[in-house]
Structure 1
C-alpha cells in the first residue's frame, strides 16, 4: 500500500518551520528525518512516530496507537497511529510533538 500523500502533506506543513528536515523513502513508505534522525513517517497509510521508549506503554494505551512491528519484531519507541486517532489538529500535534521532543535525545543511526 503506497503512503498517503494527504498525510505526507499534513506532516510537511507541520514540520515546515523546522530546519534540517529531510524526506526519505524507506520501509515501503516515507520517513521524515530531523537533524539526521528518524522522527516521523508514513508506513502502510499510518503515521509512524519515534518516541521516548519510556513513554511507549503509555502511548500504546491510547486509542488508535500500537507498537510498530518491523520484520516481525516489535520495536519499543516506535508507534503507529491510525488515521482515526489523528483526525483533529490537536490529536495530530500531540503525536508529532512526542516525536519532536524525543528527537532531541535520540541517537542517529550509524552511517554505512
Structure 2
C-alpha cells in the first residue's frame, strides 16, 4: 500500500490526544477512524475526507477539493484534497476540524466480529 507516511505523521500530530482515533489500512492507503467511523485517510499523497451530506457541497467549493471517485461514480459525502490544499499544518488542521464536527456526532460503530457460538 503506497501512501505518504509524512502526511500520516502530520495527521497523527493533529489528532494526538483524541482517544477515539484509530488507524486502519483501507482504499489502498491509510484511514483514520473516530470511534470506528471513518474520518479521513491518505490515498497516495492526497487527503481523503468524510464530510457528510451537509458539509459536502460547501467543502467541495474550496480550492484543491474534488469529489472522491475511485470507480467512475463519485461518492457523496467524501472528498479528496490535493496536496497544495494542506501544505501548511494550519491548512491540514482546518480540514480535519471541519470533518471532526460531522464524524464525532455519529454513533460509535460496534465491533461487528461474531462471537464464538456457545456449545452445549
Q: TM-score, normalised by structure 1?
A: 0.89
Distance 1:75 1:106, change over 3 A: farther
- What does residue 66 of structure 1 align with? 66
Question: Structure 2: how far apart are the matches of 1:86 and 1:11?
Answer: 11
Question: Structure 1: how far apart are the matches of 2:45 and 2:55?
Answer: 23
**Residues 1-112 of structure 1 mapped to structure 2, 5 A cutoff:** 2-106=2-106, 108=109, 111=112
- Identify unmatched segments of 5+ residues in structure 1: none
**Misfit runs of 4+, over 6 Å:** none
Larger proportion of strand: 1
- Identify unmatched segments of 5+ residues in structure 2: 114-120
Q: How many pairs are equivalent?
A: 112
Q: TM-score, normalised by structure 2?
A: 0.84
- CA deviation after TM superposition for structure 1 residue 110, in Å: 8.7
